[in-house]
Amino acid sequence: GIQVEQSPPDLILQEGANSTLRCNFSDSVNNLQWFHQNPWGQLINLFYIPSGTKQNGRLSATTVATERYSLLYISSSQTTDSGVYFCAVGAAGNKLTFGGGTRVLVKP
């Protein structure tokens, strides 16, 4: 099956800092999603981005499908950005395979 690797596994940031999270995958995909899991366990959809670039406020994401990676950018980080960020990939209409996640802690 498809392999998904996220880096770094852990990230500690000072409030206001910028950061980049990476997701590498082993095969062609038609579906790629980024999620933020809050402390209560809820997965919040950040981006549906099988290719291209999208921005939503302080967050943006870029997927280069031909090179099998995606990047999530967090700018001007806030303490509420803390949590685990997951990348998940799959074929369109099919199941998602999750990466191991990046655990982010933003310190005030």
> Which one among 2, 17, 43, 65 touches another protein, defined by CB under 8 A?
43
- The site that binds another protein (CB under 8 A) totals a number of residues, namely 21
Residue 101 is a binding residue for another protein (CB under 8 A): yes
Residue 108 is a binding residue for another protein (CB under 8 A): no
Q: Write the single-letter amino acid at 98.
A: F
Count of beta carbons in the 10 Å neighbourhood of residue 45: 9
> Which one among 40, 66, 80, 108 touches another protein, defined by CB under 8 A?
40
Backbone dihedral angles phi then psi of residue 81, each to the nearest 5 degrees: -80, -10
> Which one among 7, 31, 60, 62 touches another protein, defined by CB under 8 A?
31
Count of beta carbons in the 10 Å neighbourhood of residue 80: 9
CA distance 101 to 57: 22
Which residues are at the interface with another protein (CB under 8 A)? 30-31, 33, 35, 40-43, 45, 48, 86, 88, 92-93, 95-101
